[in-house]
Amino acid sequence: MTQSPPAAIDPADMTWPPPPFRTPVSAVVDADGVRRFEGITYATSPGYRPRLLDVHVPAGEGPFPVVVWIHGGGWLDGDRRYPPPTVPVELLHGSVLGAGLALVSIDYRHSLEAPFPAQLHDVKAAIRYVRRFAADLGLDPDRIGVWGESAGGHLAALAGVVGADTPDAAALEGAQGVGAGDTAVRAVVDWYGVSDLVTLSAHPMPAFPPLPGGAELPDPYEALLGASVAERPDLARAASPVTYAVEGSDPPPFLLIHGTLDGLVPYSQSEELAAALEKAGGEAVLTPVEGADHIFLGSPDIGRIVADSVAFLARHLGV
């Protein structure tokens, strides 16, 4: 790998207090010509860890369409660098880059750091950052899609259905990072994400083994909301993508892929969202993975699932 020449220092980075984001630094270039910008701070808040993103840009002439990858982990855990254990990172990254798409992987605040809508604020902030610095990164600001799994699928779906015309948009968009800008996306891939926290609250949670040291895993939905669904049904509805998939909302195209035997997030969650998106006039492709549990456990077709997801994004991002 080779290091590009140092970028000129931006005077905005030399102020105090520093801005709530950092401008892109020079890329590391792989032997195959892929440019990688790693650990860019796209948003900060006093008292919280910086929110980071990585950018992987294919070899060749850009600007390239962008896929924003949002990790899972029950909003309690997870890391931008690692897909679920069923999906090799080389498969995910290689498939996206091989299709002529740039990949932006993001971290966001976990629920015990800050409850909802902090996670959506961070996703929106990352999209604003990509648009603001698209020229510096070799990206096309007009061709951005989102792709997430589990908790990340939920956030990807929210990013797709919550826009500038959404009621209470300012409260959902947030003002993290660069603070203002368009956060619309052109396509969404949602792997086994939650779509309706109210209906999901009737689904019994599976038993989880104790954490190291004997501590119990917090209830992910109560941690996300800072209360139970019964205590905060208003916030549960606000955190549910189906709330915003209504007539006239003009959602972008969605691909929903979900295991039919998912014991954590039932397949019916994706059925519910697909039906709502179609009633809203959007394109919703629902693909069941027969016999698969959460994170597609039990499926022999991970390669096909990844390939179908990338193909959907490439088609709608104009590759």
294 flagged as catalytic? yes
State whether residue 185 is helix, strand or coil.
coil
**Spatial contact of 280 and 251, defined as CB atoms under 8 Å apart:** yes
Annotated catalytic residue, options 111, 262, 270, 293: 262
For the chain, the distance separating the N- and C-terminal CA atoms, rounded to the nearest angstrom, is 27
93 flagged as catalytic? no
Q: How far apart are CA 228 and CA 195, in angstroms?
A: 17
Annotated catalytic residue, options 95, 111, 150, 249: 150
150 flagged as catalytic? yes
Tokens 């009621």 — which residue?
A: 167
Q: How far apart are CA 276 and CA 195, in angstroms?
A: 10
Annotated catalytic residue, options 56, 110, 294, 316: 294
Reading across the β-sheet that carries 35-43, which strands appear in turn?
A: 2-3, 28-29, 35-43, 51-57, 102-106, 64-70, 139-149, 187-191, 254-259, 284-289
> Is the link from the previous residue into 50 a cis peptide, with omega within 30 of 0?
no
Q: How far apart are CA 101 and CA 132, in angstroms?
A: 18
Supply the DSSP symbol for 127.
H
Catalytic residue positions, numbered: 150, 262, 294
